[in-house]
Structure 1
Amino acid sequence: MGTILTTMAVLLFGGLSIGIWVGLTLAITGSLALFIFRPIPVDRLIAQYAWNVMTTQELLALPLFIVMGEILFRTRISTSLFKGLAPWASLLPGKLLHSNVIGCSIFAAISGSSAATTQIVGRVTLAELNRRNYDKRISMGSLAGAGTLGFLVPPSNIMIVYGVLAQVSVLKLFAAGLIPAILLASCFMAWIMIHTTWNKSLIPEEESFATMPWRERFASLKHLAPVALLIGAVLGSMYGGLVTPSEAAAAGVVGALAIAGFQKDLSVEKLKEVGLGAVKTCSMIALIILGASILGSASAFLGVGQAAATFVQELHLSPVALLFVLFIGYILLGSFLEGFSIIVITLPIVLPMVLAAGFNAIWFGIFLVIAVEIVQVHPPIGFNLFVIQGITGEKLSVITKATLPYLVLLILFGIALIVFPQIALWLPEQLGLK
């Protein structure tokens, strides 16, 4: 087994180090490992396995949700969100800083991507907050932290990928992520209120929304209506058992087109951009899923997962201690790899260990999403940090320092999820999802 593991590690990290695409590296590693160590027709096995994986029913929802996000990405949705949220966010301690958190929470429900959420919301909120003399550091930090909700708020692209690879219900994963997403967003908002109360210089003394009549505040909600209806239709129909995730995603695409048409943001040129953007994203994710599936299949044939589980058992770690070791390991891996790659590379080995320790696969999916969220704001790879740098032009060190409190909150939330697993499991159980 030592020879097998060494060979796979050399192939995997060798391919990544010379710049081969992650999906291709995973596929090459799995294929060569099978070819070297098992006398089986690798070409036939991989061809059939690739067909089985790429035609999985649950995977159909992924490109549809990506198309929905691409359509809304190219509308004035972020401007509408700010107009609708600002009059209400200004009532809280911290004022318009909360528009980062609430805006990201809402847009996450229609994008499924952390980076897209950070970019779309940040393009509007950071400019507005800067114009109103809010402290740049807390503006950037709150956006970086809140942007990670793009992976946790359903429908999440990374949850769909995990569901396919782990062979668990995507709908259960969506339901399991809802309460953690609400609680995590609440933690971010609580920190903003505490931080700005301690240091009142972080926000301007005068706020134009302070004297706004209540009639105008309620009137501003019209800007949120299209998005609220779309989210309610997509998520409500799924949780209500009326449609499958794939059917809900198709309805979401139609709804996104309706919103774009209503805002008069729909043109032939933009539809071309939507198509090209969706094809590029779907192709990239499909290649990674296929590569991860081949590597996972190879690991199963070669007994890597079982060997890893046996090794952990021989360490005599308690189940909770195992989770803390994995949690620290994922954070350390985040210094070298981005979150998506971490999941697809480690899942074939880690999942059997976790299941053998008695943990729920749905819960572990949410746990992994939290770990990936940490990686999104964890230097030096943290992708959200680079997105904000592209928007603001600030030094990466300044953005990283501003994001530190939200990174700590994410780590503490991950620990809370280990101690209280019902945070993720309660809602799927109450809904009776299969």
Structure 2
Amino acid sequence: MSHRRSQSLIASTLWDSSWGWALASLPLFIWMGEILFRTNLSSDMFRGLAPWLGRLPGGLLHVNILGCGTLAAVTGSSAVTCATIGRLSVPELQKRGYPEHMTIGSLAGSGTLGLLIPPSIIMIVYGVTAEQSIAKLFIAGILPAAVLILLYIVYTGVWAVANKDKMPEPEPRVSFRDRIIASKSLIPVGCLILFVVGAIYGGFATPTEAAAFGVLGALALALWSRSLTRDNFIDGLMSAVRTSCMISMIIACAACLSIGVAFLNLPGALASWVQSFGLSSYALIAVLAVVILIMGCFLEGISIIVLTSSVVLPMVQAAGIDMIWFGIFLVILIEAAQITPPVGFNLFVLQSITGRNILQVTKATIPYFLLLLALLVVITIFPRIVLVLPVLM
């Protein structure tokens, strides 16, 4: 009888964890990113940003940062963001003589913005797992993402000023009129971002409905730019299906694991054990940060969330920590894990693009990894950076 009950429980858990309405936005946002990845829209975005940034300290390195930030807002994926901008910018920056380690580092760090800027796939997974509002998680990530972009820009500019001998000559001046003309290529992607994000935050659509409109918008833009072909349509669709199925299976299996963990009372036992040390909320956050960073060296971000949720989330709730704030904290930690060896996805993406070995790529990303840790400290000291916008919703 117990065997039959366990089979029934596993079947019902698999079903319940796989059909949620909030989870339906996941494959749609992935597909939207795949459409943009396979059309000319991403290269148009690079051409539109370059004339505005070429004369700044750091020059076209800032295109990596702002380009990744812009593309992150429509793909929601760190790997897609890093690969797309990397394929566009690396050849251009190499041709102009920019330091390779700064090209790699700025790309690796900025590529992680795909996790923090809405619509973020990993935020959807956390929202479903922790039973938190996905819309509030999306809006909570905006200010931390802006702070992170600012940190990247400031560091890159300061490094360029301190190492002028290693930087190429500034780009030739471009007239304001020519900049405006070049910016026309930013309009399609910009409108898509405003439409998708505005629909969610304006209360006109749920994240799932906005994702559906985003797919239609991406397809319309791809048709308008005459870059949508039968082959890249099918390739994008099948890639989105494969990625979505992988993530959905991870979530479903982790839900079964959570049931088993709950039956063994591991969360309660572990929470009691941690509480016996009398740790403050700050100490608990520090311990969890170290553990998750270590896990990030070997596991993919979504796996970390779904495998640790049954143990970590009850501990965080018991400590009185806001679950929306912790979601953003966790996302930033996983961003850092994206550029830590040996299983940092962005490191492998850049290794394939640049042809450099993993040690060279890792060394180049260290300053940007430290900036991510600095952002964690900032939002811990000033949690309102995360919570002020969700409160206003």
If the length of structure 2 is used for normalisation, what is the TM-score? 0.97
In the alignment, does 2:185 pair up with 1:223?
Answer: yes
In the alignment, does 2:219 pair up with 1:257?
Answer: yes
Corresponding residue for 1:55?
19
In the TM superposition, what is the alpha-carbon distance from 1:301 to its structure 2 partner? 2.8
In the alignment, does 2:332 pair up with 1:370?
Answer: yes
**Identity score, percent:** 47
Corresponding residue for 1:158?
122
In the alignment, does 2:6 pair up with 1:64?
Answer: no
What one-letter code is carried by the residue in structure 2 that aligns with 1:312? V
Structure 1 residues 305-384: aligned runs within 5 Å:
305-384=267-346
Runs of 4+ in 1 over 3 A off after TM superposition: none
Structure 1 residues 2-81: aligned runs within 5 Å:
41-81=5-45
In the TM superposition, what is the alpha-carbon distance from 1:40 to its structure 2 partner? 7.1
Corresponding residue for 2:53?
89
- Tell me the alpha carbon deviations over residues 329-383 of structure 1, each in whole angstroms, 9 at most, x when there is no partner: 1112222223222222111101100010000111111111011001001122211
Gaps of 5+ in 2: none
Q: How many Å separate the matches in 1 of 2:45 and 2:55?
A: 16
Match of 2:373 among 411, 418, 429: 411
Aligned length: 393
Corresponding residue for 2:72?
108
Which range moves more in the overlay, 375-384 or 99-108? 375-384
- Contact 1:188–1:406 under 8 Å retained in 2: yes
In the TM superposition, what is the alpha-carbon distance from 1:261 to its structure 2 partner? 0.5
Q: How many Å separate the matches in 1 of 2:131 and 2:71?
A: 27
In the TM superposition, what is the alpha-carbon distance from 1:263 to its structure 2 partner? 1.3
Q: How many Å separate the matches in 2 of 1:303 and 1:356?
A: 15
Match of 1:169 among 133, 142, 158: 133
Which range moves more in the overlay, 40-49 or 78-87? 40-49
Q: How many Å separate the matches in 2 of 1:202 and 1:350?
A: 46
SS in 1 for 2:118: coil
- Tell me the alpha carbon deviations over residues 229-259 of structure 1, each in whole angstroms, 9 at most, x when there is no partner: 0000000010001110011001000100011
SS in 2 for 1:224: helix
- Contact 1:138–1:202 under 8 Å retained in 2: no
Gaps of 5+ in 1: 1-34
- Contact 2:122–2:301 under 8 Å retained in 1: no
In the TM superposition, what is the alpha-carbon distance from 1:203 to its structure 2 partner? 2.1
Q: How many Å separate the matches in 1 of 2:22 and 2:273?
A: 33
Match of 1:271 among 229, 233, 255: 233
- Contact 2:267–2:310 under 8 Å retained in 1: yes
Q: Once superposed, what is the RMSD of the aligned Cα atoms?
A: 1.3
- Contact 2:247–2:302 under 8 Å retained in 1: no
SS in 1 for 2:141: helix
In the TM superposition, what is the alpha-carbon distance from 1:429 to its structure 2 partner? 0.5
Match of 2:113 among 146, 149, 164: 149
SS in 1 for 2:60: helix
In the alignment, does 2:377 pair up with 1:385?
Answer: no
Q: How many Å separate the matches in 1 of 2:48 and 2:129?
A: 38
